Chains A and B, each alone.
Chain A
Amino acid sequence: DSGVTQTPKHLITATGQRVTLRCSPRSGDLSVYWYQQSLDQGLQFLIQYYNGEERAKGNILERFSAQQFPDLHSELNLSSLELGDSALYFCASSPDPANTGELFFGEGSRLTVL
């Protein structure tokens, strides 16, 4: 158990809809990362937050947004969903990215868009 909690574990929705994925980082970790894992693209970095502030952006679509709240949990919002958004979405946390480099991953949220 990595200590990172993601909900929901599974989500099935229709095209055009909007969903919110939630992540609670390990106790004490200030940094949260979101990754998308699909069969053809591997693990793609979406966005990173550090202590409530956006720190880095990767290949995140404009239809997607995220935030990190004062209690350090994070939410990833996916809107106007398309079939191609079906994937596993992972959240990871780390205490301070400058210290160790290790990311602790949750078990993921599997999104299916029909």
Chain B
Amino acid sequence: GENVEQHPSTLSVQEGDSAVIKCTYSDSASNYFPWYKQELGKGPQLIIDIRSNVGEKKDQRIAVTLNKTAKHFSLHITETQPEDSAVYFCAASKGGSYIPTFGRGTSLIVHP
């Protein structure tokens, strides 16, 4: 089955800096790559996603890039703010069932 590796497990940045989280996947048939943000005491919430026919997608301060050849994708957060502090999960899934396989998560800490 699919295997998703996520790095780093912890990321500490100063407010205003950029943060990058990287993921790799194993199944070349995967074609949907969502990113979820989990705040303390809450369930994961989708923040951005990308499909395999697109190389990059942006939504205000967040962007995701996908390299299908290398089977890796990344989340970029610019101008980080303390409210960006949370655990971020990448995931990969295939069309049809769209059952995502999640990475182990990255705890992002943004220091004011």
Contact = CB atoms under 8 A, between A and B. Distances in A.
Interface of A: 2, 4, 33, 42-43, 45, 48, 55-56, 58, 90, 92, 94, 97-98, 100-103, 105-108
Contacts of A98: 95-96, 98
A97 B94 CA distance: 10
A53 to B, nearest CB: 13
A110 B2 CA distance: 27
- Residue of A48, A90, A97, A103 contacting most chain B CB atoms (<10 Å): A103
B89 interface: yes
A43 B43 contact: no
A103 B89 contact: no
B46 A102 contact: yes
Contacts of B98: 94, 97-98, 100-101
A101 B93 contact: yes
A106 B34 contact: no
- Residue of B97, B99, B104 contacting most chain A CB atoms (<10 Å): B99
A98 B96 CA distance: 5
B61 interface: no
B43 A108 contact: yes
A107 B42 contact: yes
Given A48-B97, A55-B97, A102-B34, A42 B102 contact: yes
Nearest to A98: B96
A76 B98 CA distance: 21
A45 B44 contact: no
Contact of A4 (B43, B46, B100, B104): B43
B99 A2 contact: no
A2 B39 CA distance: 13
Given A2-B45, A48-B97, 8 more contacts: A4-B43, A43-B102, A45-B101, A55-B97, A94-B98, A101-B93, A102-B46, A107-B41
B43 A92 contact: yes
Top 8 A-B pairs, shortest CB-CB distance: A105-B43, A43-B102, A42-B104, A101-B98, A97-B98, A101-B32, A102-B46, A105-B44
